[in-house]
Chains A and B, each alone.
Chain A
Amino acid sequence: MFVGIDVGGTYTDAVLLENEQVLATAKVPTRENLIDSLTEALDTIVRDEDKEKVKRIVFSTTIITNLIAERKYEDVDLLIIPGPGLSHDFYKKMPYAHIIPGAIDYRGREILSLNEQEIDTVLREIALKGSKKVGVVGKFSPRNASHENKVAEIIKNKYPQWQVELGAKIGNQLNFPRRMVTTYLTCATREPYHYFIESVRQALDSREIYAEVFILKADGGTVPLQRSEEFPVETIFSGPAASTLGVQALTGPDETAVVVDIGGTTTDLALILSGQPLLSARGARVMEQLTQVRTLAVKSVAIGGDSVLSCTGNDINIHSQRAGQAYCLGGPAPTPTDALRALGLTELGDGEKAIKAMALLGQELNITVEDIAEQVINKVVDNITSEIKKMFKEWEQEPAYRVWEILHKHVVKPTIVAGVGGGAAGFSARIAEKLGCRSATLRYASVANAIGAALARPTLQINLRADTEQGCYIIQEEGRREKISNRKFNENKALELAKNSLVKLASEYGLDLAADEIEVIRQEVFNMVRGWNTTGRLYDITVQTPRGINARIGVGE
């Protein structure tokens, strides 16, 4: 038996699955204390006699989002090594960043050495402030982390009680500003996240549930509970990922689907292109800043079932805030949910009240209740549809750096619109009609998110870069620069190294990975020519575990 739990902002949803069947579902309000919500949902779906049969629990959590939004963390300082390039004024705007001299170039060569005295001065400043959490981030550190390592060593000797995080480990892709942000967030959240994980462990122990426990990440992959402490930020935005995987599990294998999750005040949109959830070309955006956290491409639109409506002149306004529940459910103001109810497109709430809400809204316009409700729904549908079209357009317009990528990217059109979440039912048919595709009525739509969590798999990647001219290679996830000893090193050897690393990493994540299942998503060879002679080769290789879900739950409709 598998358990999936999605702890959302308003509700916590849970499912119990066995052999591709849904055995039990639960929906409970999310409490202040996330552990309470988790255990309440768990207690609802897992009966005492089934406890031993639960093999796997996957849950998504808003803990990181909450920690960051409520700034529930201690001060963090970053020691950054930007070297030449973008003006240092750019970094001085961040009060927590301390610049130290040193530089590494794009091939991992040192071009300016560290200055221990300057490091000392900065460390003393930080110590004086009383901070104990520091990140060390160098430009081009994924190509050579020796500067970061050296600074960490100095800190360890002088201030052994400090928590130190290294940029190369946390943000191994090329993007120094995003690496800084990601390292900062990791540094800030690691300790409180650790306590959260401990409480989860205790809560499960006290219930005598000893299943393997995984956490869902923003890219829709799972990570074992303990290992999630290495990169806690990766667990941000896992709710939309859960819903998207849920739709993937509830629809056909090759569908191109739009996932529409209409909540109280926001609508989350995600895309599944030919059966695979679309990943964002950029990293997750946290507090307006881009990070190196891999995430599904999710767009949040500020419209929901509880959005407050008003009229000015002949125009209907949809406000981004919520005044409470819909009028038909006892709330204070007319909302899109009331419009649905007034037209009989939903069963929620009191029909009389919904009609009254529409009458209130339309009183100045002197038109019928049906007309005003129709206008409200059109407006909501228009807004959401145009955002969906924009998402497809943005996907088509993602930059490409190779000729074949430009030639082989085909325009795709959605085949189905899948509504999940409370408010979606009435709107998704209209959205589908507007996009010229089918509307999928999914069984279990209201707990699709929990189903997605239950069926998620690990998403692991290994990035290898070998530079035969310098005679070294680096596996960016491991961070060590290794010598190439074999004179006959070639593309196949590089690929083999990357695959072996992935198999090893996968086994640590509880995944039995066969070499032939591995997906090679990048395999590039560059001849390095100096003068007119080939002096070496650069190999850039990325391999990953196969994307997908563990099972499908009977197809919808």
Chain B
Amino acid sequence: MIKSKKTGLIFFPAFDWAITPTHPEREERLLYTRDQIFEEGIMDLPQIEEYKPPLANIHDIARLHFCVPTVEKQTTEAHLIAAGAAILLSDKIVSGEIKNGFALVRPPGHHAMKVVRGNRGFCNINNEAIMVDHLRSRHGKKKIAIIDTDVHHGDGTQDIFWHDPDVLFVSFHQDGRTLYPGTGYTYELGGPGAYARTINIPLQPGATDESFLYVMDNLILPILNDFKPDFIVNSAGQDNHYTDPLGSMRITAQGYARLTEKLRPDLAVLEGGYAIETALPYVNMAIILALAGLDYSGVREPDYWPGRFKERAGVAAGVERLVDELLQRWERRDRVSPDAKRISGNYYTRNKRIFYDTDYIEEDQIEQLRLCDNCPGYLVIDSDAKHGCGRSGRALCISVPHAACGRCRGEAAELYGRSRQDSQYDYIYLQDKHDDIFYGYSTDSDHEWSSEG
């Protein structure tokens, strides 16, 4: 097959969709980016192929998320289009029609977790994760790496792939003690069967391109070289930019372009970035050019000059220590035994409290992984949520992984059947990735629905 030299681009600014009129995630967000890339004639370049996004279908979402009560209730068309864009580009990359791609879409998704009760961190559904599961179900891609370069910790993506040894999730972000969502520490390393397949790199506020690229060269590239992914995804948030109103980092458009050039992702998907005038037009343009292998040196912000941002000595030393520590953990990844306190019988348990900042929902989860010698084991999440004074229903979510063994699949199905008789749950879900089928059941209406791929 002759590999295409083109970079696929889906630009979907959703000019008619906003969380609220003055919310950072509003219609205006990609307006100036549009102006910049249209005026530069980017879509006319022979290295660029522009596509129209389709809507993701309900099962694309249900294969990955547990939307309570249903996918339809948790998504708008804009969400389905953003996820559909990532899926379409991944298809084109696998088929060789394009060499790489950039889904320049909104709304974003990296704070959306496995269970979806509402909007958190501007996200409802996780575009990259949905695309990754599509790649595995439809194209048999096994090992996938997701590198999250948003200023906020990609806690949603981390949650989704926490127990998955075949998905490497690496997030660099501003230290969680100083920024939403307050997580993403170096000790968050993944579940018992997937140790160090989650890597977090919290950086001090004020870090510059130098630290960014140091982490890239000395940690991420060596890890990727060991992991050997079949497909690399970049969650390309742009709020590390020095003008971003939410983050406090000092990364430039040139820094983002160099990072992209080094990482060489198959697919980049836009995440956050709310300096809509001072950063996005330049950063997006720089990323597109870097993906397309074009000269990006002329892209610069009006108030930028080379050498404007110098790394403070303390920060640089801190980054070096951080990289050393994480490299050591990576080296030991297959020799670490799981935390015995969390294991009881055949189950590994963790409790989670999740706050949905946009929708003011508090969710309590008990997550249990069935430990199995023959496969990664299936996952059972008992989720309960409070919305203001009311409850929004207790749900039992059972997820069977792609590589599940026959016994685990049987057990999971049996648990689903048994739980349907159990009145303490309002909703019961079975997500079987091995057979690519999803069942949902509402106790209240005694109604079952399903979807399959």
- Listed in ascending order, the chain A residues whose CB lies under 8 Å from chain B are 84-90, 103, 105-107, 111-112, 139-140, 174-178, 282, 290, 397-404, 406-407, 524, 526-529, 531-534, 538
Contacts and interface: CB of A to CB of B under 8 A. Distances in A.
Given A85-B298, A402-B15, A527-B26, A106 B39 contact: yes
Contacts of A524: 15
B294 interface: yes
B21 A176 contact: no
Contacts of A107: 32, 277
11 contacts: A88-B298, A176-B40, A177-B40, A177-B41, A399-B11, A403-B81, A527-B27, A527-B28, A531-B245, A534-B21, A534-B22
B22 A529 contact: yes
B53 A406 contact: yes
B357 interface: no
B40 A85 contact: yes
Nearest to B303: A111
A403 B44 contact: no
B437 to A, nearest CB: 28
B26 A401 contact: no
A87 B295 CA distance: 6
A487 B78 CA distance: 35
A380 B243 CA distance: 59
B55 interface: yes
A407 B77 contact: yes
B59 to A, nearest CB: 19
Nearest to A104: B39
Interface residues of B, number: 46
Contacts of A290: 41, 44
B281 interface: yes
Contact of B36 (A106, A401, A533): A106
Interface in B298-315: 298-300, 302
Contacts of B294: 86-87
Given A107-B277, A176-B40, A529-B22, 8 more contacts: A87-B294, A175-B39, A176-B41, A177-B41, A401-B13, A527-B22, A527-B26, A534-B22
Interface string B245-263: 1000000000000000000
Contacts of A404: 16
Contact of B44 (A177, A528, A538): A177
Nearest to A529: B22
A172 to B, nearest CB: 12
B297 A87 contact: yes
Nearest to A103: B302
A85 B16 contact: no
A84 B39 contact: no
Contact of B26 (A106, A140, A529): A529
Nearest to A283: B44
A404 B16 CA distance: 8
Contacts of A282: 44
B277 to A, nearest CB: 8
B298 A106 contact: no
Contacts of B360: none
Contacts, number: 111
B52 interface: yes
A554 B51 CA distance: 41
B38 A403 contact: no
Contact of B299 (A84, A111, A175, A402): A84
Contact of A178 (B41, B55, B277, B296): B41
Contacts of B210: none
A407 B77 CA distance: 8
B97 interface: no
Interface string B1-28: 0000000001111111100011000111
A89 B52 contact: no
A203 to B, nearest CB: 40
Contacts of B42: 86
Given A85-B40, A402-B15, A105 B52 contact: no
Given A106-B35, A139-B39, A140-B39, A403 B17 contact: yes
B237 to A, nearest CB: 20
Nearest to B35: A106
B264 interface: no
Which 3 pairs of residues, A with B, have the shortest CB-CB distance?
A: A106-B35, A87-B295, A177-B41
Nearest to A290: B44
Contacts of B22: 527, 529, 532-534
B76 to A, nearest CB: 8
A171 to B, nearest CB: 11
A105 B31 CA distance: 13
B61 to A, nearest CB: 17
A406 B11 CA distance: 13
Contacts of B285: 85
Contacts of A178: 41, 44
Nearest to B13: A401
A103 B304 CA distance: 14
Contacts of A88: 298
Nearest to A531: B245
Contacts of A174: 35, 38-39
Contact of A401 (B12, B295, B297): B12
Nearest to A180: B41
Nearest to A173: B38
A402 B15 CA distance: 5
A139 B302 CA distance: 14
Contacts of A407: 77
A111 B17 contact: no
B51 A397 contact: yes
B52 A406 contact: yes
A157 B227 CA distance: 67
B142 interface: no
B34 interface: yes
Contacts of B436: none
B452 interface: no
Nearest to B38: A174
A176 B298 contact: no
Contacts of B16: 402-404
B50 interface: yes
B40 A527 contact: no
Given A139-B39, A399-B52, A529 B28 contact: yes
B281 A84 contact: no
Contacts of B41: 86, 175-178, 290
A399 B50 contact: yes
Contact of A406 (B34, B81, B295): B81
Contact of A403 (B21, B50, B78): B78
Q: Which of A86, A400, A404, A524 has the most CB of B within 10 A?
A: A86
Contacts of B289: 86
